[in-house]
Structure 1
């Protein structure tokens, strides 16, 4: 009998384990499973998914809007340049008149703080070139207007504006190609008498870039604005993908019972977040498209845009599409690194290690170091490293948000005792300070950035807000005419004096006065100005003392050389030539300056200028002889009369539509600076609204997570008032710590940025209104969260399945 021995065979390998995918295949499988769980997780899963989608969608909409800014500004600038005459900076006489040339003159006016811009046009031939947006050139006393101006003229409340254009008939509408924005008030008006003597220029073709390069200091400011407005958005998106995290972790524990390992569970959780992020991309796109249509009809702080202009730059749009889902996956996996998900629903948060400070300090220190290494930036610099500035500012602000969890944990760990609401709030923060820190990190970054921006704005204020020296208390409007007719100039002054709402008029008729006689070749004949006005007017221009109609004066300023030149031109008892000044004897208009003319000292006029030369009253000279005169009227209006300024502007338009009417201002603000400030206000409003929504959604999500606990507390007799105060403290403590951190970090960043542009800090209290805004945000979020709180405190919240 033989015994056959066989070699023992190894036990068969687990077929499921052998066939389990690894690497990229495992990621694809588990992410797909997580997405299916999110889509088919019932009411509970959909609530969390919708919260995530809405939160991510709000952030995506704002990011898409920011990605559209380059395209928006470029196309607005292109349309503005396209309607400018290509040769507008060339003298009209040097452009040959032809069958296609057009005479044009710019005009500006305002109506109740709304600016109107227009062009007077006159065709010089039968085939005139047309500016963009026009099918035909308007004829004499015809107007082609923008749609917004057409609607304004049809508005019964704009009766005074319609009266201003009473001599013109609207014959058409400017197409979009000829407008900078849909709400722009722009027009073309035909004139049958327009000439180059009226200040018109000749256009042979259109297309001229009038834009100016951005000042280097403003470029630094723009970079910081972009960082401040967009960094909180990125933080908010990272917070949104964590909504419902605690409840999700408990649900994922069941997957351990069917054999999923810890890594697979994390990937499945990332898949759930990925589904919410992808849905958020779709929701954000819908929000963006809705806002895109809204910007055409809403004039937000005098800013509007065509929907076609709000188009994200393709590269930036692609970056958003990739970065948002990727960040959702990474944030979820990173957040689960200290969470042990075990079978039977046991979730262990790991050993509660204290957060470390040293690595959190590296980010802000690195950011400040980069900014300091850039050195000083002057307004004349052409090459600025905007990427280094953006990187440094971003690291500094993000570093503050990484410091907040450590600060919050350190503070709340030391809080003991107090009233019941205080204990409920502090105990909740001690158990889960990370959630509260995430909710507040957005406002921390926003306030810190806003403090830095406010410090920069304050330090740059004097560079872009120039004191004009004008006195708006003595006059509010100045009207200038190039009319070469003294009689018409006198009519202009008289009509203003009889206009409703006008208190007084400082009107002068001015021309050049030249000393007659031969002049050596190459020399300039002594010349000064002669200004004719009433005694009341002359008292506003010089310290004339006693004055009667028929008197004359010679006005001196503080410049001795100019005074000597005036004395050579204006000699009492000697003639001066007040004619057109063409150099011929036939063109001379001699007038003798009376022998008893006194010398007086000039004083600043309401426009801030000092008028030197000859001052004469109407009785001393016949202004009809001043054939090349210009007229200036400084108008003082009665603030008690409604629309007094509009009546004055209407009078100017009826005298001559080409009159230049300008407001007298004590401070003149740079247009680029004003545009950036306006953009900051709009962006800040959108960002703060997003932060408020973030805090509200986060608070509601935390309440939903604790629904059973809230109901249990109510069942044990906890008062509603105590619960409401606990919610307030639970919001206020993190926000207060975040604001304190933001103030310190913002002041530091602001100092470094101000030093970079070589300015001095002029406003160390820039944080005061911002902290008040943060306090108001606490109250608003608390009030909005009370109705859901009352619902969740009902006894049915104890019911479970």
Structure 2
């Protein structure tokens, strides 16, 4: 065969796809839509690394609190920055107070000029929120006049809530602390480099493989839409003289044409999805459309791989089909599928993963090639085993109602097509089950108990030195939804005014509050207590050493080497009592000196930091935001902290969030793909359905038969996905050195989600089914 002849055959296949009448272009369109959906998701996936990189770059470019310890002297080019971020209904609001100290003070990225005092520039999403009815409560906290919006270069996402507002007097709050800093430029030149946990790298690898495999499976299935009618056309070509190789090249050309059209549609779907992505937020993650730029190399790889895969899948599918001039020998009973080679695929995957079993995080990074290859082969094993299982099961199904018999007979004749329809959902569910097991297994490694007593208090607020603690506590007590406020002034006592050798913690509060942090014999105003032990003392016997009646101690002793100190003297009273330490509401053991306000010099109040612990009535709507609003009136730079009983590592949370975002996209694709596949199969059986209706078959019976045709392979596919998913999850857990434990609620939930997607698709396909069940569908022109 000459190259010219091969090109002519491929070109004829392309013409059949687009100029072969209604049947040809409908099949090409169905293939193109299916391939296009997969290509769009692949392009979005290839754009994710760039989107994450741009988000990180934007975050680094606007960095101001770098905690480098370097003190920037005041100059014409310096800027005072106050941390004034807040939280609104569990959504973070990034906020900064700005006070330029000279004409050349640096502007934040995305800001054209500094806002004045009482003014602020906000992100578009925050501006929209503040102007809406749902943002009225936040507007009370941010009453400044909006004079502009932050540009894209100053935000990490389209839905980010952020603001900059003008301020004055920030230097009086102290510079280079957790609240106020002085900078001469934005951005961190030396961001901290953190080693990535091997287990987190494993999670990232598996997440990408699990999310992309269903897409690849669906694209492979999409290029086979309308295969039976195509083969009948090829049989007609054999009748006019074409040989077997020619018909296969024509089929390859037809598949290539549909896939190339799918690439065009996929690019269009991607551009649409890119724009839509800029206006939505999923699990608190948002991006700008400009972030989603696929890597040229990866985009080229997709553009070459999809048509090549379409041709390869078509040729492989035709290997088991004999196309003769008088018909296609697929309508006869096909030979039984062989099992042995289908079992080799998942076994090979297990063999690739086995060398890393027991490695854990102490054995270095997992081999990314073995991990990727092993997971891919295990998931491909689902697509290899499912046709055999469907064929073996439906061959043994017996009699029943008319709808059941119609469905079973159809599945017995075309079990391969039924298995192809469910391959995507089975692969997705198997991967999701494995990931859920892995996440659940290592969750305890990345989730730590905070120790906070969330029954006693649900929020904590730090009060600045210049704000009277009692007045702040009284304002919060009057806030709706606040049941009780525990107020503590906290600091340190030392044996010398400067360079103290022995220090211990000191806590000042009323008797009721002191009893929450230590065990006291009795307490009344004017009492003082020595409590040995505690987590913040300079030595085990520091309290015993300092607790000598008549000895002069110093509250807030100066730091080592400081030239001066504003330490306040305090004489240990003769009636000093002794208490016993206990775990306080923060989870730490509190010791040192516990003093009632009446036993302390008035000058010492400004030398200690105030802490307020709030007990809330959670039944009050927006109670936490009501507290934040009052806290902002007390101190605009103070953000109350919400107590949680456990805290999860940020990177682990980010990976889990990425999985949820990707899974949502993949499930949407699978739903669309199943719908397209279902409609294609109904179109193939249009005349058969019309004939059955013409002979008096009830539409209800036919509808039930179609439902059974979907339910049987789906049930088998989900059962296989359950087995493979649990197996893969167990292997991954053993690789991380974690005990194997099946998280049955998550496993059953993922299986239920897969079944739910199929149910929705089936319901959506019922209206077209009803339209196809008409006797006039037999009309031929």
TM-score by structure 1 length?
0.92
Task: Look up the match of 1:244.
Answer: 226
- The Cα shift of 1:144 comes to 2.2
Residue equivalent to 1:15: none
Q: Higher Cα Rg: structure 1 or 2?
A: 1
Partner secondary structure for residue 468 of structure 2:
helix
Residue of structure 1 equivalent to 2:380: 398
- Corresponding residue of 2:779: 799
Q: 1:371 aligns with which of 337, 353, 356?
A: 353
CA distance change for structure 1 residues 778 and 180 in 2, over 3 Å: closer, same or farther? closer
Query: What CA deviation, in whole Å up to 9, does each residue of 1:697-735 have, x standing for no partner?
Result: 222211211111112222222222222221122111111
Residue number in structure 1 paired with 2:156:
180
Shift of 1:343: 2.3
Q: Is residue 282 of structure 1 aligned with residue 257 of structure 2? A: no
Q: Tell me, in whole angstroms, the C-alpha distance in 2 between the residues paired with 1:338 and 1:663.
A: 64
- Aligned twin of 1:472: 454
Q: Is the contact between residue 488 and residue 610 of structure 2 (CA under 8 Å) also seen in structure 1?
A: yes
> For structure 2, which runs of at least 5 residues remain unmatched after alignment?
none
CA–CA distance in structure 1, aligned partners of residues 339 and 2 of structure 2: 35
Match of 2:127 in 1: 150
State how far apart, in whole Å, the 2-side matches of 1:346 and 1:386 are. Answer: 45
Distance 1:331 1:549 in 2: 85
2:709 paired residue number: 730
Distance 2:557 2:470 in 1: 19
Question: Could you say which residue in structure 1 is the equivalent of 2:412?
Answer: 430
Cα distance in 1, alignment partners of residues 604 and 543 from structure 2: 21
Structure 1 residues 461 and 204: alpha-carbon distance in aligned structure 2, compared to 1, 3 A threshold: same
Query: Is residue 500–residue 557 contact of structure 2 (8 Å, CA) maintained in 1?
Result: no
Q: By how many angstroms is 1:426 displaced?
A: 1.2
Deviations 1:662-681 (A, max 9, x none): 11000111111111111111
Which is further off, 567-576 or 169-178? 567-576
Q: Which residue number corresponds to residue 729 of structure 2?
A: 750
| Equivalent residue, structure 1, for 2:508 | 532
Whole-Å separation in 2 of the counterparts to 1:692 and 1:135: 45
Measured after TM superposition, the shift of residue 789 of structure 1 is 1.8
**Mapped partners of 1:420, 1:217: distance in 2:** 53
Match of 1:783 among 763, 769, 781: 763
Aligned residue runs from structure 1 range 375-394, under 5 A: 375-379=357-361, 383-394=365-376
Worse-superposed segment, 76-85 or 137-146:
137-146
Structure 1 distance, partners of 2:416, 2:514, is: 73
Q: C-alpha separation between the residues in 2 aligned to 1:210 and 1:561?
A: 30
User: Residue by residue, what CA displacement relative to the aligned partner does 1:185-242 show, whole Å, maximum 9, x if unpaired?
Assistant: 1122332211272522332223223574432211101110111110010010011111
Query: 1: distance between equivalents of 2:769 and 2:313?
Result: 29
Establish whether residue 52 from structure 1 lines up as the match of residue 34 from structure 2: no
Change (3 A) 1:339 1:552: same
In the alignment, is residue 605 of structure 1 matched against residue 587 of structure 2?
no
Distance 1:428 1:312, change over 3 A: same
Give the CA deviation at 1:782: 2.6
TM-superposed deviation, 1:580: 5.4
Corresponding position of 2:297: 315
Structure-2 residue corresponding to 1:16: none
Q: What is the aligned partner in structure 1 of residue 431 from structure 2?
A: 449
- 2:281 counterpart SS class: coil
Distance 2:149 2:103 in 1: 22
Q: Residues 285-684 of structure 1 correspond to what in structure 2 (within 5 A)?
A: 285-348=267-330, 352-379=334-361, 383-481=365-463, 483-485=464-466, 488-516=468-496, 524-557=500-533, 562-578=539-555, 581=558, 587-684=566-663
- Closer/same/farther in 2, CA of residues 586 and 275 from structure 1, 3 Å limit: closer
Matched residue, 1:709? 688
Query: 2:110 aligned with 1:133, yes or no?
Result: yes
Is 2:67 the counterpart of 1:89?
yes
* C-alpha spacing 1:708/1:350, structure 2 compared with 1 (3 Å): closer
In structure 1, the residue corresponding to 2:253 is in which secondary structure?
Answer: helix
Distance in 1, Cα, partners of 2:249 & 2:280: 44
Question: What's the offset of the Cα at 1:377?
Answer: 4.5
Residue 794 (structure 1) shift = 0.8
Q: Using the alignment, how far apart are the partners of 1:253 and 1:245 within structure 2?
A: 12
Give the conservation status (yes or no) of the 8 Å contact 1:506–1:634.
yes
Which residue of structure 2 lines up, in the alignment, with residue 774 of structure 1? Answer: 754
Which piece of structure 1 moves more, 457-466 or 336-345? 336-345
Distance in 2 separating the partners of 1:66 and 1:588: 59
Q: 1:381 to 1:633 in 2, by over 3 A?
A: farther
2:174 to 180, 184, 197: 197
- Mean Cα deviation higher: 375-384 or 588-597: 375-384
Shift of the alpha carbon at 1:341? 2.0
Count of residue correspondences:
771
Show structure 1 runs of 5+ residues with no match: 1-21
Tell me, yes or no, if the aligned pair for 1:152 and 1:158 is still in contact at 8 Å: yes
Distance 1:697 1:584 in 2: 78
Q: 1:250-265 alignment to 2 at 5 Å?
A: 250-265=232-247
In the alignment, the residues of structure 1 paired with residue 362 and residue 137 of structure 2 have an alpha-carbon distance, to the nearest angstrom, of: 45
1:249–1:347 Cα contact (<8 Å) kept: no
Report the 3-state secondary structure (helix = DSSP H, G, I; strand = E; otherwise coil) of the residue aligned with 2:214. helix
Quick one: distance in 2 between partners of 1:691 and 1:566?
67
Q: Structure 1 residues 579 and 680, CA, compared in 2 at 3 Å: closer, same or farther?
A: closer
> RMSD in angstroms over aligned alpha carbons?
2.3
Aligned partner of residue 768 in structure 2, secondary structure = helix
Q: Which secondary structure state, in structure 2, belongs to the residue aligned with residue 160 of structure 1?
A: helix
Whether the 8 Å CA contact 1:533–1:618 is kept in 2: the answer is: yes
Instruction: Describe the superposition over 1:412-461 as per-residue Cα deviations: whole angstroms up to 9, x where unpaired.
Output: 11222222222111111111111011111111111111111011001111
SS in 2 for 1:505: strand
For 1:524 and 1:631, the matched residues in 2 are separated by 23
- Judged with a 3 Å threshold, the aligned counterparts in structure 2 of structure 1 residues 170 and 623 are, in CA distance, closer, same or farther, namely farther
**Residue of structure 2 equivalent to 1:103:** 80
SS of corresponding position for 2:710: helix
